[in-house]
Amino acid sequence: MKSRNMLYLAMLATAAVWGGSFVVMKDSLEKQDVFSFLASRFILASLLMFMYRPTALFGQSKRFVLRGIFAGILLGSGYIFQTFGLTNTTVSNTGFITGLYLVFTPLISLLLLRRHVVRIQWLAVLIAFIGLFLISYNGVSIGRGETLVLISAVLYGAHFVALGEWSDGGNTYALTLIQIATLGVMASLFTVKNGFQLPPDSSVWLAVLFTAFFATFLAFLVQTKAQSVMSATAASVLLATETPFAVIFGLYFNSDPLTLKIITGGILVMGAMALVIWSDARKKDVRAFHHD
């Protein structure tokens, strides 16, 4: 149980890092084009991972590598749609619409894989969705930016489901490395049209380093590990706390206004997260009881 609690904490820390990276990236994307930034971030992250454990991919089956590449393509497509959307709409719209992966994750599980999602998790999804709505919604008009972010939310939902199916806890490092390397290749291919730009100044280099190490290398390691022991829906609710964190960092660094609506939304998202952890623990207790 202790290691499980550590995973919950690690997932929360991941959500906090992702929430903070919105603020970090928004400024950098005004100085470096989207694909050059993403290529710098993911190539650096995969190099770090490879240097840390160069033998990670030895002895992996072709099927395993292809699954990792497919998961990486889902995630990479989500990033590309989301980042383009972010340049065409506001941070709060991006935060709210991205959060819809909460709804898409159990739906994809149900429709494509016939995976039964327990009632208490649907309730957590609903509570978290209402929370996200209160935090981020300020009259979203569906324009080009919003449509791109919505597509990214579907792709993120599919990625949660794929990881839930393919991560078994023993292959975490290799699966994460393949996904990140795939992202690096995808982003690099998109830089061909306008040419790859190196980060233009130290602040952008810092943003690349921060997102490569914390928001990519460590974060995806945690997510892939966690999804070997929890359902895709549970993981998606835990990581939805990214949105309240994004708001907190926005308040602190950009002096965004704090309203009662935002506070209520934040409490609801955190409540949904607590519900998921409680239902997860209860499921484990019931299993343990039956095993005894």
Predicted confidence (pLDDT) per residue in 100-153, tens digit: 888 899 889 888 888 777 888 889 999 988 988 887 776 666 788 889 999 999
Residue 256: the pLDDT is 67
- What whole-number distance in Å separates Cα of residue 261 and Cα of residue 100? 18
Residue 187: the pLDDT is 93
Residue 140: the pLDDT is 63
Please return the burial class of 129, using the count of CB atoms within 10 Å of its CB with bins 0-12, 13-18 and 19+.
Answer: buried
Residue 76: the pLDDT is 92
Counting as low any pLDDT under 50, the low residues of the chain are 286-292
Residue 290: the pLDDT is 39
User: Could you count the other beta carbons within 10 Å of the beta carbon of residue 185?
Assistant: 17
- Which positions ≥6 away from 240 have C-beta within 8 Å? 15, 99, 101, 102, 128, 132, 269, 272, 273
Residues comprising the chain, all counted: 292
